[in-house]
């Protein structure tokens, strides 16, 4: 059990962090509020006060996840990396994010009716991040890093193919014995085909 800060704002943040952790481990449907309160050694009162119910807490956890993802993606874009280094960075971030948050946070979001509004937010998040990658590829073409005849959408789709391969490897614990450096080397090997395809 961890010591809990009784300051109301900090307590709300602690609840969101713990909820994100437990929702990521168990999924929305299988999580009870007592899973979260027991982990923190507190009553349910603060959850009702700050978030109203489990759905309100899940929404807050999603907002935290979304803010973190958007901010990290913007920070990677701001580095103005060469396209291959950019792809390495975003693919590694996705792999690290799923290792950090677990694979079950969005489990059931397509089928649980009360999560439909959050599913719409998730769809918008995915589309926005996808479009940001498209724009980055277009800028890379304009800078001469990628052949002019390259289709930006195709490059972004290839990024997601690499990412989903890593995602599946994480799901079956294939990479659990790999160090951070070894995982980055694997990503680099996977990206060598994209580099040959789009770069001179």
Per-domain boundaries in the chain: 62-198
Q: Which pLDDT belongs to residue 102? A: 67
Average pLDDT over residues 176-182: 85
Give percent of the chain with pLDDT exceeding 70. 94
Q: Which pLDDT belongs to residue 140? A: 95
Please say if the pLDDT value at position 7 is more than 70: no
Sign of the Cα torsion 140, 141, 143, 144 reads positive
Q: Which residues contact 107 (CB under 8 A, 6 or more apart)?
A: 27, 28, 29
Q: Which residues contact 83 (CB under 8 A, 6 or more apart)?
A: 136, 137, 140, 145, 146, 155, 198, 199
Annotation: CATH topology of 62-198:
Tetracycline Repressor; domain 2 (1.10.357)
Write the pLDDT tens digit of every residue in 79-114: 999 999 999 999 889 878 877 776 789 999 999 999
Nearest to 195 by CA among 149, 142, 164, 158: 158
Read off the pLDDT band of 196 (50, 70, 90).
confident
Q: Which pLDDT belongs to residue 2? A: 44
Rounded Cα distance between 143 and 137, Å, is 10
Write the pLDDT tens digit of every residue in 123-149: 999 999 999 999 999 999 999 999 898
Nearest to 108 by CA among 189, 30, 4: 30
175 neighbors 181 (Cβ within 8 angstroms): no
Instruction: Return left, alpha or beta for 144; rule: phi > 0 is left, psi -120 to 50 is alpha, else beta.
Output: left
Sign of the Cα torsion 36, 38, 41, 43 reads positive
């Amino acid at each position: 059990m961890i010591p809990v800060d009784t300051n109301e704002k900090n307590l709300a943040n602690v609840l969101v962090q713990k909820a994100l952790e437990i929702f990521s481990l168990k999924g929305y449907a299988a999580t009870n509020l007592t899973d979260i309160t027991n982990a923190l050694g507190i009553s349910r009162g603060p959850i009702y006060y700050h978030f109203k119910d489990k759905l309100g807490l899940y929404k807050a956890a999603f907002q935290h996840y979304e803010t973190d993802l958007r901010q990290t993606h913007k920070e990677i874009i701001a580095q103005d990396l060469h396209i291959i280094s950019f792809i390495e960075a975003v693919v590694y971030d996705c792999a690290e994010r799923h290792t950090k948050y677990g694979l079950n946070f969005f489990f059931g979001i397509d089928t649980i009716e009360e999560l439909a509004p959050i599913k719409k937010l998730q769809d918008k998040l995915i589309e926005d991040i996808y479009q940001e990658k498209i724009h980055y590829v277009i800028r890379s073409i304009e800078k001469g890093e990628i052949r002019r005849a390259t289709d930006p959408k195709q490059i972004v789709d290839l990024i997601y193919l690499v990412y989903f391969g890593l995602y599946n490897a994480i799901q079956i614990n294939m990479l659990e014995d790999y160090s951070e450096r070894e995982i980055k080397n694997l990503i680099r090997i996977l990206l060598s085909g994209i580099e040959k395809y789009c770069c001179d």
